[in-house]
Structure 1
Amino acid sequence: MLSPSAPRAQIAPRFERSRSTLLAYLALTKTRIIEQLLVVTVPAMFLAESRAGTGSLPSVWLIAATLIGGAVAAASAHALNCVVDADIDAKMKRTQARPLARDQVPRSHALIFGLVLGVFSAVWMGFTTNWLASALTVLAIAFYVLVYTLLLKRRTAQNIVWGGAAGCMPVVIGWAAVTGTVGWPALVMFGVIFFWTPPHFWALAMRYRDDYAAAGVPMLPVVATPVQVTRRIVAYSWAMAAWSLLLLPVTSWVYLAFAVVAGGWFIVMAHRLHSAVRAGHPAKPMRLFHMSNTYLCGLFILVAADAALGLPVLSLHF
């Protein structure tokens, strides 16, 4: 005869297996990266509504719907990326704990999971925002998986430069969700993230150069000298800081002050990394990597604050 504790003893392992499986599928979506993508979406929506001249902010429902659709779309792209890169992830120390690298989830199940998320995000965006935002969402997923992951990542050191365009899409999608169009400020914000991406990821790749080399991924730090890498980081940092100033016609002096100070800080950090490498000192690229996250979040928070507070835009005369 079974004791009263026997059913509990049987349930506990099942619960633990279910919990472990759920966490594995959640890990496929790379939630930490999703958070950063969503941080830039809301400011783009605020600015779009501000430019529409309504004198209000986007509705809470529209913001929530866009963020849900964007999060699910990013989760889809990341899950499909994990499917394609399962062999690479198993070779890299930084990614060896990912579910497919540890065989926690069958690869076919992860593929279906990613595709279902992608279809859901497209349909969700279409019915809750508009079909332009939905189409741009599908484009972002397809570009990340087909162009970056399948075509560029294993073939060229420019993988991050062009493949990173997928990570720029949330601002355009957010703008389209509000207006049903793609305005020039959305393209400027797209450009800021486009120029920001290489310094951000190349700094990370410098830290994990051996990992990428072992996996056969030709990230720039693998195929170029540290001096060449940091020289390009400096160039893109200057381009990013300069490009951010193109938002001045739709922002205030508060944004200008932050863009100049924070952009200058970013450039100084990039130059310091380059100078250290040229002098033969130990490189500390992760300082730039972490600071780049702070810069991007701060810049877009200022965009949102400008729009939300209705601060007077700069009157530029040339």
Structure 2
Amino acid sequence: MPQPATAVTDVPAPAVPRWLLATRVLKAYVALTKPRIIELLLVTTLPAMILAADGWPPMWLTLATLVGGYLSAGSANAFNSYIDRDIDAVMKRTRNRPLVTGAVAPRDALVFAWVLGAVSLAWFWFVVGSPLSAGLTLFAILGYVVGYTLLLKRRTAQNIVWGGIAGCMPALIGWAAVRESLSWTPFLLFLIVFFWTPPHYWPLSMKFRKDYAHAEVPMLPVVAPTRRVAIEMIAYAAAMILTSLVLVPVAGMTWVYLAVAAGAGAWFMKGCIELYVRSQRGDEKLREMRLFRESIVYLTLVFAAVLVDPFLPDLLTVWG
């Protein structure tokens, strides 16, 4: 029998414009590189270059080094996204990442990571013209991908401490790009970031403790009492502040840098101590995310002071 006529007919969905599809794909691949993390890495690269040059390095060298830094960090982060896609899928904070949503296929992400890594090494060697920077870049990528992501992250509560070494490398890479050598000064910049990493990342881990526990990632706030975590944060913050002050005699920094480093360090230490006090009282609201944001402000202030410091003698002479 013939079917009765209906008022509604099947209408094909409108085709998505190619430019919109291309934009979505591009955004997904950019997300694989984790741009917000790279911003912090570049914050430490440029000041190291300016300190190495005792002024502004050649503009082309500066831009080339920053581009190379983005490529190498993007490669490491893309490898991390590929390896940790199972963890990202069970954590609320990371469920919208490209490999979880299917915006990028795992194989494509892996190829992307390899290509970025290879290009970044060639970029530092031939474009920046610094074999030393290329070698340090390779060490940084391997440190993050193999050292942190594959070996440490799922096995030890100290994962972010030693795995964070890769995040300290931009200071050495930036310095080497200018001088093609290393000295105590860039290693002190390296150590500032090294000691800063635990009190920066552990507050975030406190906030998402249940997420990490569900994913079976043994971040220190997951496996240890908050009081112990707060004590270790204070210890690392103290080492960080001391290192930032040692930079004054070693690198010949001015009183302006000293004032900023001491003031910002005291302010950040106050936040760590307050978190410890709240944990001792058993407060439900630790305000850990406020301390997380303050840690970013601290690092930005200190490295901004490093950036400005080489120009201060000339400015003070002009004003005088």
TM normalised by structure 2 equals 0.91
- Is 2:267 the counterpart of 1:265? yes
Q: Which residue in the other structure is 1:201 paired with?
A: 201
Alignment correspondent of 1:18? 22
1:149-193, Cα deviation, whole Å (9 max, x unpaired): 000000000000000000000000000000000111000000000
Q: State the partner residue of 1:81.
A: 80
Deviation per residue, 1:2-37 (Å, 9 max, x gap): xxxxxxx97644333222111111110101111111
Q: Quick one: distance in 2 between partners of 1:164 and 1:45?
A: 21
2:310 corresponds, among 292, 300, 307, to 307
Cα distance, 1:281 vs. partner? Answer: 1.0
Tell me what 2:160 maps to.
Answer: 160
CA distance in 1, matches of 2:312, 2:305: 10
In the alignment, residue 104 of structure 1 is paired with which amino acid? A
Alpha carbon RMSD of aligned pairs, Å?
A: 1.5
Residue of structure 1 equivalent to 2:216: 216
Provide the rounded CA distance (Å) in 2 between the counterparts of 1:310 and 1:187.
24
Per-residue deviation at 1:307?
1.3
Q: Identity of counterpart residues, as a percentage?
A: 50
Distance 1:133 1:276 in 2: 44
The answer to whether the Cα contact below 8 Å between 1:66 and 1:177 also exists between their aligned partners in 2 is: yes
Are residues 193 and 147 of structure 1, via their aligned partners in 2, closer, same or farther at CA, if it must alter by over 3 Å? same
Deviation at 1:297, TM superposition (A): 0.5
Query: How far has the Cα of 1:128 moved from its partner?
Result: 2.1
- The aligned amino acid for 2:27 is L
* Residue identity matched to 1:84: I
Any unmatched runs of 5+ in structure 1?
A: 1-8, 51-55, 313-318
The answer to whether the aligner puts 1:235 opposite 2:235 as a matched pair is: yes
1:256 aligns to what? Answer: 258
Moved more, 188-197 or 228-237: 228-237
Q: Measure, in 2, the Cα distance between the counterparts of 1:89 and 1:218.
A: 15
Q: 1:308 Cα shift?
A: 2.8
**Counterpart residue identity of residue 308, structure 2:** A
CA distance in 2 between partners of 1:311 and 1:147 (Å): 43
Partners of 1:252 and 1:311 within 8 A in 2: no
Contact 1:185 1:247 in 2 (8 A): yes
For residues 75-94 of structure 1, the C-alpha deviation after alignment (integer angstroms, 9 at most, x for no partner) is 10100000000000001011
Alignment match, 2:62 = 63
Amino acid paired to 1:264 = A
1:34 and 1:151 map into 2 onto residues whose CA distance is 22
More deviation in 262-271 or 18-27?
Answer: 18-27
Aligned residues: 300
| Structure 2 runs not aligned, ≥5 long | 1-12, 316-320
Conserved? CA contact 1:133–1:176, under 8 Å: yes
2: CA distance, partners of 1:117 / 1:79: 9
Indicate the larger mover: 303-312 or 219-228. Answer: 303-312
TM-score when normalising by structure 1 = 0.92
Helix, strand or coil at the partner of 1:218: coil
Output the CA distance in 1 between the equivalents of 2:157 and 2:59: 41
Q: Deviations over 1:39-67 (max 9, x none)?
A: 111100011111xxxxx421000100000
Quick check: which has more Rg, 1 or 2? 2
| Conserved? CA contact 1:76–1:113, under 8 Å | yes
- Partner residue of 2:293? 290
The CA distance in 1 between the partners of 2:233 and 2:203, in whole Å, is 8
Does the 8 A contact of 1:175 with 1:183 survive in 2?
no
Preserved CA contact (<8 Å) 1:251 1:306: yes
